[in-house]
Amino acid sequence: MPLEKLQDRVLLKHPKDSSAEILFYGATVISWKSGSTKNPDPLERLFVSSKAALDGSKPVRGGIPIVFPCFGAPIHLEHAKLGQHGFARSEVWQWDGTVMDNEAGVSIKLTLEPTEKIKRVYDRPFHLSYVVTLAEHQLSTDLHLKNSSTSTTFPPDVLEFQALLHNYIRAPAEQVLVTPLQQLSYYDKTESTEQGRASAKVEQRAAVDVKKATDSVYENAPQKYEITWPGGGIEIRTKNFKDVVVWNPQVGGSKIVDMEDGGWERYVCVEPGFVRGFVKLEPGKTWIGQQVMTVIAEERRLAL
C-alpha cells in the first residue's frame, strides 16, 4: 500500500522501497528512506534526535520543520507576538488528501488555516498547504501560501512573511561539504557586531564545512546545492527560496535539551528559505516555495 494514514502521521511507500513519514504536528517530515541509483537499499536520509518529542509538545528536533512566518526571533511588527521560527512547525496541520499515486511517485497534501489559537498571535489572512512527494530517489516538499484576504480596501491587505525548510540532513558533520556558496554574502550568526547584529561576510571557501560551530545565512544563493561526504550525498534544488542557511552547533549542541548525545556529529542543517527581507503577497495571490532533494549516487556506504 503506497500510503497509510495513522492518527498522528502519514506514511508514504514507493514500490521501489523508498519511504517517508510525515507528522500532522508541524507537517514535519520525520523520515525519508531512500537508496541511490548505485545502491538500492534504503537508508535514512534525515536526522531526528532520539530525544525529540514527537507528541506535539514542542517542535521536532530534526526532520524538516517548517519555519513560517518569521525566521528566528520576529523582527516584523506583524510577527511581534510570535516565538522563534513562527507557528507552522508547532501547529497540527489538516489532512487534505492524496495528490498523486502512480509509478512516478506518491504525493499528499496537508493544510493549515487560521485557528482561534493562531489568530491570538497572528491574525492575518493566510491559507498554507504543503505537498510532499516521494519518488524512488527523491523527496519533494512544496509550501504554498495563499493570501486569503478578500478585502478590496486601499492599501491592499498585503502579507509579509519569511519561510524556510529547516532540513536536518543525516551526514557525518566532520566530513560533510556544502557547495556552491563561494562569493555569496552571508551573515555569521555565531559572531556579532558591536551593535549586536550578526556579522556580514563574503564566503571565500569553495566548499563549506561545519567542523566548527556554524550558523550562516547566505543571501541570494544559487538554489541548487550539493551536500557531500565520502560515500554519499544529497542534492537540493529549490524555487523561490532565494536564501540558504547552513547550521551545525558542534559541541554547543549539548546545550540543546532535546538533542541526543553527540547528535550534532550526525547531521548538517541546509535550509533553503526566504529569510532576508520579506515575501510580499497581495490579496488573492499564491506564493510557492519548492524543494527537491535527490540522493546522489554513492560509491560506498557509510554506517551513520
Residue 173 contacts by C-beta under 8 Å, 6 or more apart in sequence? 210, 211, 248, 250, 264, 265, 266, 267, 268
Half-sphere exposure of 20 (CA within 13 A, CB side): 26
The type of residue at 182 is Q
271 lies in the site for ligand TA6, by CB under 6 A: yes
- Cβ 297 to ligand TA6 shortest distance, Å: 29
72 lies in the site for ligand TA6, by CB under 6 A: yes
Give percent helix, percent strand, percent coil of the chain, each to the nearest 5. 5, 45, 45
Q: Is 45 assigned a ligand-binding role in the annotation?
A: no
79 lies in the site for ligand TA6, by CB under 6 A: no
Decide if 289 contacts 146 (C-beta within 8 A).
Answer: no
The site string for ligand TA6 over 154-173 (x = CB under 6 A, - otherwise) reads: ------------x-------
What is the three-state SS of 221-275? CCCEEEEEECCEEEEEEEECCCEEEEEECHHHHHHCCCCCCCHHHHEEEEEEEEE
**Which of the residues 185 through 214 are near ligand TA6 (CB under 6 A)?**
189
Active site residue 194: no
Q: Which cell numbers in the block locate residue 85?
A: 521560527
**Which of the residues 96 through 125 are near ligand TA6 (CB under 6 A)?**
none
Q: Is 89 assigned a ligand-binding role in the annotation?
A: yes
Active site residue 271: yes
Residue of 271, 282, 298, 299 marked catalytic = 271
- Cβ 198 to ligand TA6 shortest distance, Å: 9
* Count of residues touching ligand TA6 (by CB under 6 A): 10
Half-sphere exposure of 295 (CA within 13 A, CB side): 30
247 lies in the site for ligand TA6, by CB under 6 A: yes
Q: Is 266 assigned a ligand-binding role in the annotation?
A: no
222 lies in the site for ligand TA6, by CB under 6 A: no
* Length of the chain, in residues: 304
Among 215, 229, 241, 295, binds ligand TA6 (CB under 6 A): 215
Residue of 14, 166, 203, 298 marked catalytic = 166
245 lies in the site for ligand TA6, by CB under 6 A: yes
- Cβ 174 to ligand TA6 shortest distance, Å: 20
Q: Which cell numbers in the block locate residue 98?
A: 492524496
Q: Which cell numbers in the block locate residue 2?
A: 503506497
Residue (12 or 210) nearer to ligand TA6, CB: 210
Collapse the DSSP code of 120 into the 3-class scheme (helix H, G, I; strand E, B; otherwise coil) and give the result.
Answer: helix
Decide if 271 contacts 165 (C-beta within 8 A).
Answer: yes
Among 8, 38, 76, 84, binds ligand TA6 (CB under 6 A): 84
85 lies in the site for ligand TA6, by CB under 6 A: yes
The site for ligand TA6 (CB under 6 A) is made up of 59, 72, 84-85, 166, 189, 215, 245, 247, 271
Known binding-site residue numbers for substrate: 61, 84, 89
